[in-house]
Amino acid sequence: MEHIYKENKKGAPVFILLHGTGGTENDLVPVAQLLNPDYNILGIRGNVQENGMNRYFKRHGEGKYDWEDLEFRGNELYEFITQKAEEYGFKLEDAVPVGFSNGSNIAIQMMLKHPEAFKKAALFAPLYPADVEEKQDFSEVEVFLSLGKGDPIVPESESERVINLFEERGADVTTAWVQGHTLTEDVARKAKEWLNK
């Protein structure tokens, strides 16, 4: 997978940057620098194409996931991150997924399949339109969720579903609401406060 790795401080935690539809591995670098300039950066480009746009998994239209592909791509991405952790010398529990939209959604997939892997995540504009029966243990997980009022892609009921998905599994959840399907500087600053508290 196409990626960038930027070491800012030896031994510091690592942001796993996961872009939105049509993005690249560099999109969230300014957000990462705002969140904590000392953290190292692993930015990964989604390797699925939708009308020439990079994504992390296939779908059959807005909010209609190809669940089989999501499962396959989630495992593929997790294995890739595991390899890079070895290559660049960091631990998964020191890695913080930072996702926007499509990137947040595959981060949720990885967290559900590997609940022991990540201890923190900052997810902007997430959507995970499924009832998950398995009750993973997220009691050691802290998650920041940025959700949209009047989001044209994610109805508020679906945002609530994501909040519940984490809370029902015991995660420490911090939420912030924005207008629409965006990642604003204001909400990035709230994520910064959450991360560095």
CA distance linking residue 89 with residue 26, whole number of Å: 21
Please, which residues have CB within 8 angstroms of residue 133's CB and are 6 or more apart in sequence? none
Residue 112 exposure: Cα atoms within 13 Å on the Cβ side: 21
Enter the tokens of residue 109.
């997939």
> Which residues are catalytic, by number?
101, 151, 181
For helices 102-113 and 67-88, the axis angle rounded to 10 degrees is 80
Order of strands, sheet of 3-6, starting from the edge strand that comes earlier in the sequence = 3-6, 40-44, 14-18, 95-100, 120-124, 142-149, 172-179
- Quick check: 104 and 133 in contact, CB under 8 A? no
The DSSP output letter for 94 is G
